Amino acid sequence: MSSIRKIIGSRIKAHRKSRGLTQSALAEAIECEVASIGRYERAETAPDGEQLIKMAEFFEISPMDLLPVKIDLKLQAVLDLRSELIDLVRTINDPSQLERLIGVAKESTQPERGR
């Protein structure tokens, strides 16, 4: 799942919910299928340029307000990596492997010493 799609989808959902709209109402307003709004919000697909502009006009915002900036992408990448790491850790059943992983994690959080 693309970080860009996740950010766009979450922003669409936030703007929709802040106005108390259903997916159906938004779909009707921008003349698209309800399923498309769901796919955008779940980050399965991203709206094309035309749909993005229609949504921005409907929400009375700039299309840029729906798009991520560099810092958003970096934060989303960190969140995605953390989620992946947590999923992997949940599969480890060997205490010694978990202890080793904890050691690596602790080392990576220590400030670098002079080289």
| Contact status, residue 76 vs residue 22, Cβ threshold 8 Å | no
Q: Going by CATH, does the domain composed of 3-66 fall within 1.10.260.40? A: yes
Is pTM beyond 0.75 here?
no
The pLDDT tens digits for 58-114 are 999 999 999 887 777 788 788 888 888 999 999 999 999 999 999 998 888 887 655
The pLDDT tens digits for 24-61 are 999 999 999 999 999 999 999 999 999 999 999 999 99
Nearest CA-CA partner of 40 in 2, 82, 73: 2
Residue 106, CA atoms < 13 Å, CB-side half-sphere? 6
Six-digit token string for 13: 């959902």
Residue 59 burial by CB count (10 A; 0-12/13-18/19+): exposed, middle or buried? Answer: buried
Domain boundaries, the chain: 3-66, 70-109
